[in-house]
Amino acid sequence: MDTILLGTLGGLVAMAATTIGALPALIGRSLSQRASDTMLGFAAGVMLSAAYFSLILPGIDVATERTGSELVAALIAGAGIVLGAGFVAWLNATIPHEHFRTGPEGRDTEAVARIWLFVIAITIHNFPEGLSIGVAFGEGQANGLSVMTGISIQDMPEGLAVAVAVTGLGYSRRTAFLTALASGAAEPLGAFVGAALVSVSHALLPWGLTFAAGAMLYVISHEIVPETHRNGHQHRATAGLIVGLVVMMLLDVTLG
């Protein structure tokens, strides 16, 4: 129960960070596209670093201890990554949602109000982040704190970027803020699910760690990186990614 409680609390912290990040949009603060792409690049860097240093490598270590074989551990990690990425790809293909620039995806998008399509899209993005927090606490409190801190740091500019994007589509500031808040709710849910799964059986821990990593890697490649390169700000976005990766690496070394 301690793991589930800590994991869920970690997800709530990340949700709060998303909400705090969206506050400037509520009072009318604007964000340039260049700044938005840089911040999203930073978020991608944090997620990329967390996927490898806080999820994949600990997953391989745990699997090696359990199986006694580095090859088997690597195969388990590879399978977990593929399953995680495949799960988010399946969500992306089946659940109706709409991205800010690429338009609607999934099934029966015409049956859902447009604002909810945006909320669902961001929720699909945020759920793997919460999942990673939950399973990281299953590996240990220090690792969980590291992932929670890194995800929360990148959630603040991400929350602002989401709120500003919704405002730019013609919705009110209040609606934009509530959209960011609603999307952040996926993180404690994902954290609870991740922590609960690895608490059921410690044997699931390497699978849970690498599954969460695969889910985040899919989001980075399919959503964030293409978005940051769409408007001609790829150099700043790449610089943001490198900075985010280094920040998360330092957090992992000092906290994890």
How many helices and strands, by DSSP H and E, does the chain display?
11, 2
In order, the DSSP letters of 84-139 are HHHHHHHHHHHS-EEETTTEEESS-GGGS-HHHHHHHHHHHHHHHHHHHHHHHHHH
Residue 46 C-beta-side C-alpha neighbours within 13 Å: 25
Residue pLDDT, tens place only, 59-68: 999 899 888 9
CB contact set of 102 (below 8 Å; sequence gap of 6+): none
38 touches 234 (CB < 8 A): no
* Spatial distance between the Cα atoms of 55 and 199, rounded to a whole number of angstroms: 16
Distance (Å, rounded) from C-alpha 159 to C-alpha 150? 14
Q: Which segment of 89-93, 96-100, 172-176, 189-193 scores lowest on mean pLDDT? A: 96-100
Q: Which of 145, 157, 173 is nearest to 36 (CA)?
A: 157
Question: What are the residues facing 104 on neighbouring strands?
Answer: 98
Instruction: State the pLDDT at residue 161.
Output: 73
The b-or-e profile of 47-69 (16+ CB within 10 A means b, else e) is bbbbbbbbbbbbbbbbbbeeeee
Is residue 243 pLDDT above 60, yes or no?
Answer: yes
Domain ranges of the chain: 2-24+41-255
Q: pLDDT category, 29, cuts 50, 70, 90?
A: low
CA distance 84 to 176: 30
Residues contacting residue 223 through CB under 8 Å, at least 6 positions apart: 99, 125
pLDDT digits (tens, 9 = 90+) for 215-241: 889 888 887 788 788 778 888 889 989
For 120-167, the pLDDT digits (tens) are: 777 777 888 888 898 888 888 888 888 898 888 878 877 877 777 777
Q: Judge contact between 210 and 81, C-beta under 8 A.
A: yes
| Cα–Cα distance measured from residue 248 to residue 150, given in angstroms and rounded to the nearest whole number | 6
- Burial class from Cβ neighbours inside 10 Å (0-12, 13-18, 19+) for residue 211 reads buried
Beta carbons of 88 and 219 less than 8 angstroms apart:
yes
The string of pLDDT tens digits covering residues 4-21 is: 899 899 999 999 998 888
* Residues β-bridged to residue 98: 104
In this prediction, residue 9 carries a pLDDT of 93
> What distance in Å separates the CA atoms of residue 99 and residue 73, rounded to the nearest whole number?
36
Bridge partners of 97? Answer: 105
pTM (global) more than 0.75: yes
